[in-house]
Amino acid sequence: MDSDELLRLFFAERPALEAYLLAATRDYHLTEDLLQEVAIVLVRKAEEYDTSRPFGPWARGIARRELASYLRARADEAAVLDPETLEVCAPAFETVWLGEHTEARKAALAECVETVSDGGRKVLELRYHERLSCPEIARALGRTVQAVYGILKRVKNALRECVEARLGEARP
């Protein structure tokens, strides 16, 4: 398989791989690093790919091996979900992105974030821009970790409802 075709398949599969790795690590930074490693291995092993079989499971197999080698090297950081459970979830990681108007959802999310209160926005920025953990956010804001959990839960629920409402309005 030529590299252009492989990269096309990789970018189509990327969101599902990203969700898989994020579910395994709960660390977006690490997920990005692992995804880069996966892309390198995919290109290196392009010749081994059997084009008669679906690309997703093959790519996920490589992601799983990269993840396992990382977890072996960092024995202190165990994956929260075990590999079997992740495999159960893997098809859903694909389907939520497929048949989804991703760009419309992203645009709706960007609009909805603008409607979040200042306090909620601050927590969102610390979490998703500064990439702080909840205990770190709690320290930064002088709040308890439970309070930060509560704010994030409320903001995420509000965002989900806002996005669904906007997508619902856009649907014919």
Partner 1 sequence: MRRPRHRVRSPKELAEAYFHEELSPAERERLTSSLREDAGLVRRFAEVARDEIMLFELHRAAEGAFDRASQGVETPCWATRRQGRRRSGLVLWAATVAACVLVGLVGFRLGGAAARERRGEAFPVPWAGRSSPSVPSGSQVSRCDSCSDGGRT
Given the rule CB under 8 A, which residues bind partner 1?
15, 18-19, 22-23, 26, 28, 80-82, 84-85, 88-89, 92-93, 95-97, 100, 105-106, 109-110, 113, 124-125, 127-129, 131, 134, 144, 146-147, 149-150, 152-153, 156, 159-160
| Nearest to partner 1 of 5, 125 (CB atom) | 125
Q: Of the two residues 46 and 104, which places its CB atom closer to partner 1 in the complex?
A: 104
Closest separation in Å from C-beta 47 to partner 1 = 30
Name the residue nearer to partner 1 (CB basis): 45 or 139.
Answer: 139
> Are residues 66 and 37 in contact, defined by beta-carbon separation less than 8 angstroms?
yes
Q: Give min distance, CB of 48 to partner 1, in A.
A: 28
d(CA 5, CA 25): 29
Q: Least distance to partner 1 from the beta carbon of 136, Å?
A: 12
Q: How far is the CB of 78 from partner 1 (least distance, A)?
A: 10
* Burial class of residue 129, CB neighbours in 10 A (0-12, 13-18, 19+): exposed
Nearer to partner 1, 44 or 101 (CB): 101
CB of 104 to partner 1, least distance (A): 12
Residue environment code for 49-75, b if the CB has 16+ CB neighbours within 10 A, otherwise e: beeeeebbebbbebbbebbeebbeeee
Which phi and psi (to 5°) does residue 116 adopt?
-70, 145
CB closer to partner 1, 61 vs 150: 150
Residue partners of 21: CB distance under 8 A and separation at least 6:
30, 31, 34, 35, 38, 63, 67
